[in-house]
Amino acid sequence: MPVMRIDLVEGRFSDEQIGDMLHRCALHYGAVLQSPMERIRVFVNEHRAATFFVDGQRASEGAADAPYFHYIVLQGRPQNEIEALMTGFTDIIESSLGVSRDRIRGACWPVPPEHWGIGGVMASEKRKAEIQARRQAAENAPLTPQ
């Protein structure tokens, strides 16, 4: 588990910009979730400008860059981790690609551990002790005021 996908318009960013963003997102994921790097996956999917639609037009017609990302966490992660990931990923995309943060959209997809496979074994079984400790920590965490 941690898996992240970032959707961009093809050819708008250099390999160096994308490489910097990938590396920083992986480091951020690992730091927030306290996950070893070998568990982390970060992918960029580039779309032809004719197939990327935003602001009522295709990117090939002049739509401004509007990166979209989503990331997966196992259910039971504390809300503060989910929010730290969202904010951090937005910060990284903004600074690595030079895109205004108001153009960036993101989503967190919590997945039940019994629905996530690791080497063909459900995460609920493979990491039972880790998942249980996370659930207990989330249940015992003080509620933060809104």
pLDDT single digits (tens) 52-73: 999 999 999 999 999 999 999 9
Q: What is the dihedral of CA 72, 73, 75, 79, to 10 degrees?
A: -110
For the chain, what is the mean pLDDT? 91
Identity (one letter) of the amino acid at 78?
P
Query: Which pLDDT band holds residue 139 (cuts at 50, 70, 90)?
Result: confident
Q: Return the pLDDT at 137.
A: 75
Strands 57-58 and 3-9 turn out to be unpaired
Bridge partners, residue 43, by sequence:
5
Percent of the chain residues topping a pLDDT of 70: 94
Task: Please provide residue 27's backbone torsions phi and psi, each rounded to the nearest 5 degrees.
Answer: -60, -40
Q: Which fold has domain 3-113?
A: Macrophage Migration Inhibitory Factor (3.30.429)
pLDDT digit string, tens, across residues 7-47: 999 999 999 999 999 999 999 999 999 999 999 999 999 99
Query: Which pLDDT band holds residue 136 (cuts at 50, 70, 90)?
Result: confident
Q: Return the pLDDT at 123.
A: 85
Q: Return the pLDDT at 128.
A: 72
Contact criterion met (CB below 8 Å) for 71 and 109:
yes
Residue 134 pLDDT exceeds 70: no
- Give me the residue spans of the domains in the chain: 3-113
Which strand (E) or helix (H) includes residue 26? helix 15-33
Q: Which comes out higher in pLDDT, residue 136 or 63?
A: 63
| Region of 56 on the Ramachandran plot (φ > 0 left; ψ -120 to 50 alpha; else beta) | left
